Structure 1
């Protein structure tokens, strides 16, 4: 049951009055056993967080992957990590040695490019490139404990239902982005704080998903604790005319969690980015070699992370963004 449970909650964790009872029904178990299993996985640090996974762009934030070339990497990483919109920050084995994702809020006075420029100045970056998403082919971090290897899957594209967010939705986003407690009724404090019933909670949460504001409500694992000891950012130099077709092919591999098309520069020819996961470095490289055979790129390279400086969810609609700008802009 453990493997099935882990697979299930990564896909979708039910927003309901008694979610562990709903999961137990699906697993042919009982509520108490399922809750105890969740607590066990949390205690073992296999589960990182269970919360809403929101779409940065849909919420009005501007974001990008950024690469810095820096001499004092620890100092640079510490400066970059002060920004509340930095969710991931890694050392990677390349001349561009510090790679991070950053988002700025809709009301930012600096904007994305000026914020990156300021961080580059403060951290004494020798050179940097900004790599925003031109096209997203896949974002789906769901690790199969049974292994993924060269298996393929169909990438679903959901149609969005357009609507304007209400004050209730903003409040809901702030609460649903927090990690749940391992209790029978983890959403009790949400309904109590907002003064709504469970039917309203479920209806409005579903609406956030249909509008594309929330991708899903699910569990994220700590990769290495879950047995996935290797992951690589693999970048591909591909024919721009075939990039969309090639991106779809790369995204079809189950071991690929992220796949994006990004801009190129004179000093950076790689336009297609993918994150590939495996239980070993050998397993990752087997998948990458299989992909390379299929798509026939001009060139590709591995960017393994050698150190993690930051990995945490962005707190949307937090006052920390405006506070950072006040503190850092002269």
Structure 2
């Protein structure tokens, strides 16, 4: 059961959830630590244990419980799709209301669709589509728009990234935490990274395929992934570090389930901004720790919003205050806040399958 707004209470410095999920101070610090980065070493749980002054066995036990309680969604590599030669776009569909569930369920079966939500707007079905080098992104979008229940469609590829990186502050000790992948004013690449050969049968491709999987909670988890990839553990870890250095991998870290982690007030805010002011506004939005993603995207006559921000807060009051702060700091009065009405799909993109 997902957390309700009333399901969170502060009790003697601990967070107690009415859903019977219990997070103590060490859990919270552990979650903050592994969200930022996860040690790319042969015995990563030993390194985490030293940081928290507990035993490796306790680290593994706590992570296993937090995964079982659906707080931790996955621990794995988070790759830059474009650096692997993939292309992606946010697509918004105007769907006949009576057919929205049918459309959402059908589109979610597409292997390239990682996220699909019903939202409270004219364009009421929003999805993220990612395709490999062998596929035609534009044609895939045309095919989706041609489905019988779609009234109209807009394709919104990102043209610039100002920030990307979800961090849900669990311990309350890092309000301005910055993740490695958060960037400022970066134009997205349009082809795979030249430093790596991701051709079938190559070691970099094999490494991506295993590093994107949920990490096994054992003493030497990378040795198991390395065996699956057909290489030595040292070779896999070396490639992982190179992926990080070259920004092919944004980070290796834990991803949490927002609502189960107590962040039940989430929204996408779309902002109308003149092109010459986009970089300034993007930098302002990116500086706010409640904003996890900020992109510049294409505009349309009936949808003139070019900046997109994802905002995650614990309460509706906090969410409203954050949006008000963004309006005041940016000076942008024309915006739309889109709420998720229904989630049809939320998954990770799977590369080179």
Under a length normalisation based on structure 1, what TM-score does the superposition of the two structures give? 0.90
The 2-side partners of 1:300 and 1:2 are apart by: 37
Q: Is the 8 A contact 1:256 1:274 kept in 2?
A: yes
Following TM superposition, by how much is the alpha carbon of 1:196 offset from its aligned partner in structure 2, in angstroms?
A: 3.0
Give the aligned partner of residue 297 of structure 2. Answer: 262
User: In the alignment, is residue 172 of structure 1 matched against residue 211 of structure 2?
Assistant: no
Distance 1:26 1:149, change over 3 A: closer
Q: Where does residue 109 of structure 2 map in the other structure? A: 82
Q: Determine the structure 2 residue equivalent to 1:199.
A: 234
Structure-2 change in CA distance of 1:156 and 1:67 (3 Å): closer
Determine if the alignment matches structure 1 residue 8 to structure 2 residue 43.
no
Conservation of the 8 A alpha-carbon contact between 1:191 and 1:197: yes
1:163 aligns with 2:190: no
- Output the CA distance in 2 between the equivalents of 1:198 and 1:55: 23
- Segments of structure 1 that go 5 or more residues without pairing to the other structure are 319-330
Contact 1:228–1:277 (CA under 8 A) maintained in structure 2: yes
1:186 to partner: Cα distance: 1.9
Deviations 1:287-316 (A, max 9, x none): 110110010114012101111100001111
Tell me by how many angstroms 1:151 deviates.
5.2
CA deviations on 1:261-290 (whole Å, 9 max, x unpaired) are 111110001111000000012111101101
Write the mapping of 1:207-226 to structure 2, written as runs, cut at 5 A: 207-226=242-261
* Aligned equivalents of 1:28, 1:152: Cα separation in 2: 22
Q: Say whether residues 1:232 and 2:267 are aligned partners.
A: yes
Q: How many Å separate the matches in 1 of 2:246 and 2:126?
A: 30
Could you tell me which runs of 5 or more consecutive residues in structure 2 were left unpaired when the two chains were aligned.
1-25
| Structure with higher RCO (Cα < 8 A, 6+ apart) | 1
- Residue 253 of structure 1 pairs with residue 253 of structure 2: no
In structure 2, the CA distance between the partners of 1:310 and 1:158, relative to structure 1 (3 Å rule), is same
Cα RMSD, aligned residues only = 2.2
Rounded to whole Å, the distance in 1 between the matches of 2:307 and 2:164 is: 14
- TM-score, normalised to structure 2's length? 0.85
- 1:73 corresponds, among 78, 97, 100, to 100
Shift of 1:162: 5.2
State how many pairs are aligned: 316
Distance (whole Å) between structure 2 residues aligned to residue 263 and residue 254 of structure 1: 25
Alpha-carbon displacement from aligned partner over 1:35-69 (angstroms, at most 9, x marks no partner): 11101101111000111101111111111000000
CA distance in 1, matches of 2:336, 2:164: 20
Q: Match of 2:132? A: 105
Q: Write the distance in 2 (CA, Å) between the matches of 1:151 and 1:4.
A: 15
Corresponding position of 1:63:
88
CA distance, structure 1, for counterparts of residue 315 and residue 173 of structure 2:
11
Q: Structure 1 residues 280 and 121, CA, compared in 2 at 3 Å: closer, same or farther?
A: same
